[in-house]
C-alpha cells in the first residue's frame, strides 16, 4: 500500500511539474508573439495572468492556452511562434495584414480543431503540413493570395466539416478526394483559377449543405450525383464554362434556396 501511495505521489509531482513548465512556456511564447507583432492591445496591461488577456482562453484548471483569437486587429508580422502553443484548439487570425507564407509549423498543432486565416495577405502555396491536423473541423484560408494546387495531403483531414479556400489564385482541378470528406458540410472554392470537371463523388458527401464554386474555369456538365443526398441548401456555380442543363435531380433538394 505504501508503494502504491509513493507511486501516486510521484506521478502527481511529475504531472504538476510538467504542467507548471508548460504554463511557463505558454506565457513566454505569448510575450514573444506580442513583441513579434509589435504589440497586441490588452496583452499584459496591468494583468499578469495571461489567461485573462483579450482573445485568449485557457483550458481546465486555468492552465494551457486552448483558444487564440487575434482577428480584426490590423496586425502584421511573423506568426510562426504561435506553433509553440501546443494545446491550441482554436486559432483565428482573420481580418489582419499578415503576409508571407503560411507557416508550415502550424502543422505541428496536433490538437487544433479550428483554423481561420482568412482576409489576410498570405501568399505562396497551401502548406502540405496542414494535412497533419487530424482533429481539424474547420479550415478557412479564403481571401488571400495563395497559389498552386490544393494539396493532396489535406485528404487526411477526415473530420473536416467546413473547408473554405475561396478568393485566392489556386489552380489545378478540384481533387477527387474532396468527395471522400464524409463530414463536410461547407465547401467554398469560388474566385480561383480551378479547371476541369466538378467531381462526381461530391454526391457521396451526405452532409453537404453549401457548395460554392463560382468564378472559376470549370467545364463539363453539372453532376446529377451532387443532388442525390437531397441536403444541399445553397449551390453557386455561375461564371464557369459549364455546359448542359440543370439536372432534374435538383428536385431532390427540397431545402435548396439558392442555385
DSSP β-ladder status, 90-92 and 114-116: parallel
Q: Which of 206, 213, 205, 204 is nearest to 235 (CA)?
A: 213
pLDDT tens for 94-151 read: 999 999 999 999 999 999 999 999 999 999 999 999 999 999 999 999 999 999 999 9
DSSP β-ladder status, 56-58 and 65-69: antiparallel
Average pLDDT score, the chain = 89
Residue range 20-36: mean pLDDT, rounded: 81
Cell readout for 94 is 482573420
Determine what percent of the chain is predicted with pLDDT higher than 70: 88
> What is the pLDDT at residue 47?
67
Residue range 155-181: mean pLDDT, rounded: 97
pLDDT tens for 211-241 read: 999 999 999 999 999 998 889 999 999 999 9
Amino acid at each position: 500500500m505504501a508503494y502504491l501511495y509513493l507511486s501516486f505521489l510521484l506521478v502527481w509531482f511529475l504531472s504538476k511539474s510538467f504542467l507548471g513548465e508548460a504554463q511557463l512556456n505558454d506565457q513566454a511564447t505569448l510575450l514573444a508573439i506580442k513583441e513579434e507583432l509589435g504589440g497586441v492591445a490588452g496583452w499584459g496591461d496591468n494583468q499578469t495572468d495571461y489567461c485573462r488577456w483579450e482573445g485568449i482562453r485557457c483550458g481546465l484548471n486555468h492552465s494551457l492556452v486552448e483558444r487564440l483569437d487575434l482577428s480584426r486587429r490590423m496586425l502584421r508580422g511573423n506568426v510562426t511562434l504561435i506553433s509553440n502553443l501546443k494545446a491550441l484548439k482554436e486559432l483565428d487570425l482573420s481580418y489582419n495584414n499578415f503576409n508571407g507564407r503560411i507557416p508550415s509549423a502550424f502543422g505541428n498543432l496536433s490538437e487544433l480543431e479550428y483554423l481561420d486565416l482568412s482576409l489576410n495577405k498570405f501568399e505562396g502555396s497551401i502548406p502540405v503540413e496542414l494535412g497533419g491536423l487530424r482533429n481539424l473541423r474547420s479550415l478557412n484560408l479564403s481571401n488571400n493570395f495563395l497559389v498552386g494546387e490544393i494539396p493532396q495531403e489535406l485528404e487526411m483531414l477526415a473530420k473536416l466539416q467546413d473547408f473554405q479556400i475561396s478568393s485566392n489564385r489556386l489552380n489545378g482541378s478540384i481533387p477527387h478526394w474532396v468527395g471522400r470528406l464524409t463530414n463536410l458540410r461547407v465547401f467554398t472554392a469560388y474566385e480561383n483559377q480551378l479547371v476541369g470537371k466538378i467531381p462526381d463523388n461530391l454526391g457521396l458527401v451526405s452532409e453537404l449543405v453549401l457548395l460554392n464554386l463560382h468564378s472559376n474555369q470549370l467545364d463539363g456538365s453539372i453532376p446529377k450525383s451532387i443532388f442525390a443526398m437531397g441536403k444541399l441548401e445553397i449551390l453557386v456555380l455561375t461564371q464557369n464554362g459549364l455546359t448542359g442543363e440543370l439536372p432534374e435531380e435538383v428536385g431532390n433538394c427540397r431545402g435548396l434556396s439558392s442555385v
